[in-house]
Amino acid sequence: MLSSLRATFVLSLSAGLLLSSCEQHKPATTTPAAPAAPTAQARYECPMGCAGSQSSKPGKCPVCEMELVKKS
C-alpha cells in the first residue's frame, strides 16, 4: 500500500521532470544551430527571376541566358 503510493509519487515526479525538460529543450530545437543558407555571401540571380537561376558566383542564367545580377 505504502510502496504503491510512493511509486505513483515517483512516477508523477518523473513525468513532471520530463515535461519541464521538454519545455526547456523546445527553444533549442526550434532555433537552427548552424545557418544552412549562405545569407551573408553574395548571391547572383537572373534579373528575370528564373527558377534555378540563383548562383553563388556570377554567370549566365541557365534558363534565358541573361547575365546574372548580384543580390544583396
- Least distance from C-beta 45 to Zn ion, angstroms? 9
64 grid coordinates: 534565358
CA distance 21 to 29: 12
Beta carbon nearer to Zn ion, 23 or 65: 65
- Least distance from C-beta 63 to Zn ion, angstroms? 4
- Fill in the amino acid letter for 20: S
DSSP 20: H
27: three-class secondary structure by DSSP:
helix
Beta carbon nearer to Zn ion, 50 or 69: 50
Q: Contact positions toward Zn ion, by CB under 5 A? A: 46, 48, 50, 53, 61, 63-64, 66
CA distance 8 to 17: 14
- Least distance from C-beta 27 to Zn ion, angstroms? 40
Beta carbon nearer to Zn ion, 44 or 61: 61
